[in-house]
Structure 1
Amino acid sequence: MKPTTDDIVEINQILSLWAHLVDDHAWDRFGEVFTEDAHFDSSIFGFAPVTGIEAICHMASQEGHASAHHTTNVYVKEGPNDGIAALSKGLGLLSNGAVASVTYTDRLRRTPGGWRLASSTLALQAPSY
């Protein structure tokens, strides 16, 4: 489905809200961002891929995550069937003071509550010298 301007704005809000909720440990609000059956893959950081909001909350509450998440460079595009795809960058402040850059590859699905993340996969952006 081709995204409308309203879709693009709503999806930018959802992706930005994700960073605020995870930083605030607002696990009870993850339903505002994810579908019930969402798949989240941050295996690049050593976490097993998980499915479902409860599993995503549990994974996100474990030690080893960045202490601050920043969503940037959101690009929303046509997705398969009735869905929409999005690419975005993320910056995370690590416990040692370093900053990690990731790319999120997301699929979103419209629900009665609006657009929600159905799957999210992180890829680490390593510096090339």
Structure 2
Amino acid sequence: MLETSDIVAIKQLEAFCHHAVDHNDQSLFADVFTEDARFDGRLCGGPLFEGLEAIKGFFALGRPPHPPSHHMTNCYVYEEDDRVRVKMKWICPDPGTGGVVTGDNIDWVVKTPEGWRIRERVASMRHPGGFSAQPAS
């Protein structure tokens, strides 16, 4: 069973991850991901990367193709199938449209000697894609 201190540390990790992604380089990623982490962006039309170096290489592409900033909200920590999971929502500005892009991340986090780290992230798109502000007629 997770202790309150673990939940706080995991939520801090999740928030810090977005600061690391927006940092000028990928020097903070070792404080976020395990060496053997997986980043699965296929549900957003992106790639699957395995390993810290591959993930760093993806984010080293800069802005664009990545958004200028990443934000997270609604971070929920829970245990499932003997794993510690995190579900949270993300939002990024879309410089192409002036709007926003939103989605979900579902993470598997593990406690390492250096602290909690993301072992796997699966990102999915929420908006755009099927959203309409128009009422149904």
Looking at structure 1, the residues matched to 30 and 123 of structure 2 have their Cα atoms a distance apart, in angstroms, of: 20
Computing the radius of gyration from Cα coordinates, the structure with the larger value is 2
Q: What is the RMSD computed on CA atoms of the aligned residues?
A: 1.5
- Which runs of no fewer than 5 residues in structure 2 stay unpaired? 133-137
Q: TM-score, normalised by structure 2?
A: 0.85
**Structure 1 residue 73 displacement after superposition:** 0.4
Higher relative contact order (CA 8 A, sep 6+): 1
**Structure 1 residue 40 displacement after superposition:** 0.2
Higher helix share: 1
**Structure 1 residue 24 displacement after superposition:** 1.3
**Structure 1 residue 30 displacement after superposition:** 0.4
1:122 — aligned with what? 123
Superposed, 1:61-80 pairs within 5 Å as 61-62=60-61, 63-80=64-81
Looking at structure 2, the residues matched to 31 and 70 of structure 1 have their Cα atoms a distance apart, in angstroms, of: 20
Superposed, 1:38-53 pairs within 5 Å as 38-53=37-52
1:86 — aligned with what? 86
Q: Contact (CA 8 Å) 2:25, 2:60: kept in 1 or not? A: no
Count how many residue pairs are aligned between Structure 1 and Structure 2: 127
1:109 — aligned with what? 110
Q: TM-score, normalised by structure 1?
A: 0.90
Percent identity over the alignment?
31
CA offset digits 1:36-71 (Å, max 9, x no partner)? 100001123433200111100111122421111001
**Matched residue type, 1:128:** F
- Which runs of no fewer than 5 residues in structure 1 stay unpaired? none
